Amino acid sequence: MLSEPAAPGALSHGAAPVAVPLPPALAARYERTRAGRDWLARLPGLLTDRLEQWHLDLDLAPGSLPWSGHGALVVPVRQRGGSPAALKIAFPHDEAKVERHALTLWGGRGAVLLLAWDSGSCAMLLDRLVAGRSLADLPMDEAARVWGGLVRELGVAPDHRPEWQELTHIAARAEQWSDDLPADWEELGRPFPRWLLEAALEVCQTRGAVGRRSARDLLVHTDLHFLNILARPGTRGAAPDDYAAIDPQPMIGEPEFAVAPVLWNRLADLPAGRPGPALLNRCHEFSTAAGLDPDAAREWGIAREVENALGYAREGHRGDLARSLWVASTLAGSTLDGLPNPRLLPEPGQGG
């Protein structure tokens, strides 16, 4: 839920139009494909329909922008009686379609509260959090404490509720990577040394072994980075209860899978000297704050960043590729030569 600069385009509501600027980064992202352009064209109607369906009023100051993440528009609204909420309309993709299931399972514990949903439009009505206050604003030691507390709350075990049947397993994803990563590496012209690919494959084959289903498998927020943790209204402290997670990309599996996003974000916070040991120390601190196994978290970080690196190589994102290779190789114990200082690399989503 990030603010973006103003845009000339606007969405409207009802017979008396209320301009809602479309964040330019969101527009630029989805104008690249036909499906994306179709979704952008349908957004005004989707917004109007949900406002009417849930009896909502826009709560956006004139000239202000709604929020947007990588794949959704989020508009501040008021419900009947005046209570604040956030209307999220996501581009229809697999992660967006299962988000409501995870939020239902959490029921507001550690995560934003789901108030209503419409599966046909990938729209959700959410309790409103403080978009301008995220875990990115906290010093790293305080961020680790909050993050760890939230992971403990979010790590619920599978039970009888039907929402569990809609979620995929991390071990199954690792099994798939065992086939996909070598093929992609060859297809893309071997964009990094073989030993790093093999390090990722070893993780997939051990932590994602065929048929593996651990008694420790929990519901995992797989995109729990600093900007996906927002402050709850009326709070001023730095305790886990003062924050809630958003945008979960949920899966079932080892909770250590959740650590990687805090390792590939905020690299500028690493010390100028010896950033590699500092990254490993961060992995240990965040893992232990959540009661997790730091070595398992490190291993999952290698596999996840190698998979990310191949995606960036395919897309031609050189800065993002360098960041993923630095993190993956550092976690694997031998930082690749020739990479920029990690403090100079772009943050995810900031261009690469």
pLDDT tens digit string along 147-175?
A: 999 999 999 999 999 999 999 999 999 99
**Residue 121: C-alpha distances to residues 17, 145, 177, 213, 295 (Å):** 21, 36, 31, 33, 41
The least confident of 70-79, 214-223, 248-257 is: 214-223
Residue 341 pLDDT class (50, 70, 90 cuts): very high
Q: How confident is the model at residue 214 (pLDDT cuts 50, 70, 90)?
A: low
In the structure encoding, which two tokens stand for residue 216, read together? 């420790």
The string of pLDDT tens digits covering residues 294-326 is 999 999 999 999 999 999 999 999 999 999 999
| Co-location of 209 and 339 in the same domain | yes
189 within some domain: yes
Question: Domain boundary residue among 71, 91, 111?
Answer: 91
End-to-end CA distance of the chain: 20
Q: Are residues 78 and 23 in the same domain?
A: yes
The share of the chain scoring above pLDDT 70, in percent, equals 92
Instruction: Establish if 126 belongs to a structural domain.
Output: no
Q: Do residues 145 and 16 both lie within one domain?
A: no
Read off the pLDDT band of 17 (50, 70, 90): very low
pLDDT at 198 over 80: yes
Whether residues 186 and 72 share a domain: the answer is no
pLDDT at 197: 98
* pLDDT: which is higher, 77 or 352: 77
For residue 241, pLDDT beyond 70: yes
CA angle 87, 91, 93 (to 5 degrees): 125
Residue ending a domain, choose from 30, 58, 91: 91
Structural domain contains residue 224: yes
Residue 33 belongs to domain spanning:
10-91
pLDDT tier at 213 (50, 70, 90 boundaries)?
low
Please identify which residue in the block is written with the tokens 């927002």. Answer: 230
- Same-domain status, 66 and 161: no
Cα(294)–Cα(256) distance, integer angstroms:
8
What pLDDT, on the 0 to 100 scale, is given for residue 215? 66
What is the phi/psi pair of residue 159, to 5°?
-140, -155
- Within 10 angstroms of residue 213's Cβ, the number of other Cβ atoms is 12
27/149 same-domain check: no
Asked whether residue 170 is assigned to any structural domain, the reply reads yes
281: its two tokens:
């120390």
Alpha-carbon span 233 to 151, nearest angstrom? 20
Helices 194-207 and 318-331 cross at an angle (nearest 10°) of 60
Residue 112 is assigned to a structural domain of this protein: no
pLDDT for the residue 94: 83
More confident residue, 158 or 94: 158
Q: How does the average pLDDT of the chain come out, rounded?
A: 91
Mark whether 270 and 166 lie in a shared domain: yes
Q: Among the listed ranges 103-107, 120-124, 134-138, 310-314, which one has the minimum average pLDDT value? A: 120-124
What is the percent of the chain with per-residue pLDDT over 90, rounded to a whole number? 78
Q: In terms of C-beta density within 10 A (0-12 exposed, 13-18 middle, 19 or more buried), how is residue 129 classed? A: buried
Taking the C-alpha atoms of residue 110 and residue 147, their distance in angstroms, rounded to an integer, is 10
Per-residue confidence band for 91, with pLDDT thresholds at 50, 70 and 90: very high
Distance separating alpha carbons of residues 145 and 230, to the nearest angstrom: 14
Q: Are residues 139 and 87 in the same domain?
A: no
Q: Which tens digit of pLDDT belongs to each residue from 23-39?
A: 888 898 899 999 999 99
Q: Is residue 352 part of a domain?
A: no
What is the number of structural domains in the chain?
Answer: 2
